[in-house]
Amino acid sequence: MEGDKKMKATVAEEQAKLRAFAMEVKDTKNELEVCQKRLNLQEVELAATQEEARSSKVLAEDRPCTGLAMATLHNLIFGFVLLVAMEHAFADFNFYKDMACYWGYRNLAVWNNGQNFALGLNNVSGCGIQTRNRFLFGSVEMQIKLVHGNSAGTVTTYYISSTGSKHDEIDFEFLGNVSGQPYIIHTNIWAQGLGRKEVQFYPWFDPTAAFHNYTIHWNPSQIVWFIDGIPIRVFRNYQSYGIAFPNQQAMRAYSSIWNGDSWATRGGQVKINWKSAPFRAFYQQVKLRTCPWYSQASTAQCSAKTPANWWTAPVYSRLSYAQQGQLMWVRKNYMIYNYCQDWKRFKGVLPPECSLPLY
């Protein structure tokens, strides 16, 4: 009986929270609608992008459905509250519901019912967005089509990050280039405020010609950066060797476009050509399959090896042999900088993870 009462109280509380959340969504929607009206995106370009979004094939999903089914079963047994949490976690992405603009809303465009969006940069401002909710572990994926033409000096970022002075962060950054020259795909990881673990690549495709899937996968055993399902980088949890690994601080996902011409293009030698502005990066097919973080208790919940926590399944704890092969192919042919080979920078003493197995 006592338990029943408690349950009812929690449900009522949860319902109140949901109502508040719905109000917030409505507010943001209004706010964003106003933004959108102010935007002077060329109609033709927008229509063309929409057309492309429609015709581009949805990437095949590799998520095992049994995990999800088990999760639902688990939640039916253990209560309504958890179910609400799971629904939040796996609900289909919608910009208005899941994202907020933290900078340069005039350069943000959202269309197709919150499924597609674009971030722009002009000589007045760039633009930045972030997820509303925090999470611990899971995967964040989005298809991005980077700034086409002369994008030299522009930097498009896509990362997940916590806040505070000892923050954790897992980065993708795309450094633009003059027309016909390759972008640089820059990756980095920060754990408890320490970074300096950069690895850079050239893409094996033109990232401005079509959408490509960029995924950050984060679980208690490893972090993997994927492009179109191919692992380009892995960072294993070597905490037992005293190497910091992000697993205690909840993160949000962010994306932004900004003027990085003071360093991005060959150390600042090539400046942005504003004649080509506005510069725009396009987004679609965002998926946030993450473990929602509500309170300190979420740390244990999100790390627990349960069927509901699909990211803790053994299959995600290590790269498969096939994935190891793909990783080596990318490293051999497309890696242009690796902090683990920069003896000069680290004055002959490379960070300890550099001498441990990569995968």
Instruction: Name the residues annotated as catalytic.
Output: 169, 173
Smallest distance, Å, CB 264 to ligand NAG?
6
Q: In the window 95-124, what residues touch ligand NAG (CB under 6 A)?
A: none
- Report d(CA 312, CA 303) in Å as an integer: 7
Number of residues that bind ligand NAG (CB under 6 A): 8
- Report d(CA 197, CA 65) in Å as an integer: 35
Residue 182 is a binding residue for ligand NAG (CB under 6 A)? yes
Q: How far separated are the first and last CA of the chain, in Å rounded? A: 51
C-beta of 175 vs 216, nearer to ligand NAG: 175
C-beta of 230 vs 270, nearer to ligand NAG: 270
Only one of the segments 36-44, 164-172, 176-184, 253-261 lies at the binding site for ligand NAG (rule: CB under 6 A); that segment is 176-184
Contacts 24+ apart (CB under 8 A), 309-317: 309/137, 310/63, 310/64, 310/67, 310/68, 310/71, 311/137, 311/138, 311/139, 311/217, 311/218, 311/219, 312/137, 312/219, 312/220, 313/64, 313/67, 316/217, 316/219, 316/221, 316/222, 317/219, 317/221, 317/222
Task: Read off the DSSP letter of residue 94.
Answer: -
Q: Which of 177, 208, 215, 301 binds ligand NAG (CB under 6 A)?
A: 177
C-beta of 177 vs 215, nearer to ligand NAG: 177
Residue 184 is a binding residue for ligand NAG (CB under 6 A)? yes
Q: Return the half-sphere exposure (C-beta side, CA atoms, 13 A cut-off) of residue 303.
A: 13
Q: In the window 196-255, what residues touch ligand NAG (CB under 6 A)?
A: none
C-beta of 8 vs 266, nearer to ligand NAG: 266
Pairing, β 116-121 against β 99-103 = unpaired
Distances 329 to 133, 232, 323 between C-alpha atoms, Å: 36, 9, 10
C-beta of 181 vs 338, nearer to ligand NAG: 181
- Report d(CA 251, CA 37) in Å as an integer: 31
Q: Closest Cα to residue 142, out of 87, 219, 216, 49?
A: 216
Smallest distance, Å, CB 332 to ligand NAG?
18
Other residues' Cβ atoms within 10 Å of the Cβ of residue 62: 6
64 contacts 310 by C-beta, under 8 angstroms = yes
- Report d(CA 231, CA 199) in Å as an integer: 13
Smallest distance, Å, CB 182 to ligand NAG?
6
Residue 181 is a binding residue for ligand NAG (CB under 6 A)? yes
Residue 175 is a binding residue for ligand NAG (CB under 6 A)? yes
C-beta of 3 vs 267, nearer to ligand NAG: 267
Smallest distance, Å, CB 336 to ligand NAG?
7
Smallest distance, Å, CB 271 to ligand NAG?
12
Residue 266 is a binding residue for ligand NAG (CB under 6 A)? yes
Residue nearest to ligand NAG (CB): 181
Smallest distance, Å, CB 186 to ligand NAG?
9
Q: Closest Cα to residue 214, out of 160, 282, 154, 144?
A: 144
Residue 265 is a binding residue for ligand NAG (CB under 6 A)? yes
By the 10 Å C-beta count (0-12 exposed, 13-18 middle, 19+ buried), 101 is classed as buried
Smallest distance, Å, CB 177 to ligand NAG?
4
Only one of the segments 48-56, 261-269, 280-288, 295-303 lies at the binding site for ligand NAG (rule: CB under 6 A); that segment is 261-269
C-beta of 264 vs 327, nearer to ligand NAG: 264
Only one of the segments 79-87, 223-231, 260-268, 287-295 lies at the binding site for ligand NAG (rule: CB under 6 A); that segment is 260-268
**Residue reference for tokens 């095949």:** 60
Query: Phi/psi at 212 (nearest 5 deg)?
Result: -130, 150
Contacting residues toward ligand NAG, per CB under 6 A:
175, 177, 181-182, 184, 264-266
